[in-house]
A = this chain, B = another copy of it.
Amino acid sequence: MTTSPAYAAVDWGTSSFRLWLIDAGGQVLGERRSGEGMTTAAKAGFSEILEGHLDALAAPKNLPVIICGMAGARQGWVEAGYVDVPAALPKVLTAAAIVPNQKRDIRILPGIAQRGASPDVMRGEETQLLGARDPSVSGEQLFCMPGTHSKWVRLTGETVTGFASFMTGELFDVISKNSILQHALTDAGSFDGSHPVFLAAIKAVFAQPARATNLVFTVRSGQLLDGLDATGAAARLSGTLIGAEIAGGMADGWQRKKLDAPIRLIASGRLQGLYEAAFDALNLPYNTIDADEAVRRGLSQAAKTVFGGNT
């Protein structure tokens, strides 16, 4: 017997859109993915893009929709605000913003803000955390969520006690396209976490994070003096930025005490492979949670809280 959808779950980032139709039992009935992120939607219309994808899946006209991510930013669809650190994750579930003047019930989850000396924000990752936390761990857990602006998050029980964003993905992009290194990276092929230049860069910058912007320059000088090829150049830039992020994520006292649990890596696809290889190279214990599954699980919890029992 085919079940019918109870709600649609949407992860709406800066540059990506993902939608799942989910039934009351948590089963995924349909999926849509596109590059129509907040940036595109701000011009083309959030409602138009969302309804187009729902129509493509023949979703009922009154199906409720739960959304997380940059759609809730000030430049997004409807500003969904922030829950401040220390942030109990269940609070995120009850602070969703209602999108007004829609023919269906659409809610956008808030982000989390850290005010004070280390100001920081997240939107979307809080929903992944909801789906990824391990309720059996009572102590502190450290999450690593790689991406354009990677997040490292400390969670105690169900409360986010602190977090830090690292510009890893975006720096790789702007440095490889706009700096003098672009010449060294022209026509780089793909590489994975087993590339020896990637692993060497991870170890070098983790041992001496202060050398990060020097190690980035060796992408250029390595090409000039050692004949470093374009793929190796990309691997060195990537390894330097990811290794610097891991050193930073582990800083602030983390490395000086035993973690209550391995690092919880929330990732998928290519980034998952690179970060797993990096953790292996640094002998850091970790386990991996699929990022897609985590955000879907988090959105399902939110739907149950927001829309009630019949979801």
Contacts and interface: CB of A to CB of B under 8 A. Distances in A.
A63 interface: no
Interface in A73-92: none
Secondary structure at chain A's binding surface: helix, strand, loop or mixed? helix
Copies of this chain present in the complex amount to 2
A250 B226 CA distance: 26
Interface residues of A, number: 44
A252 B208 CA distance: 8
Q: Which of A217, A241, A247, A248 has the most CB of B within 10 A?
A: A217
Given A119-B218, A217-B149, A210 B244 contact: yes
Contacts of A120: 217-218, 221
A224 to B, nearest CB: 6
B180 A213 contact: no
Given A119-B221, A171-B179, A225-B115, A166 B251 contact: no
Contacts of A175: 171, 174
A248 B210 CA distance: 4
Given A149-B180, A177-B178, 11 more contacts: A113-B225, A119-B225, A166-B214, A170-B179, A171-B179, A174-B178, A208-B248, A210-B210, A210-B244, A212-B244, A213-B245
6 contacts: A121-B224, A149-B180, A166-B214, A171-B175, A210-B247, A211-B248
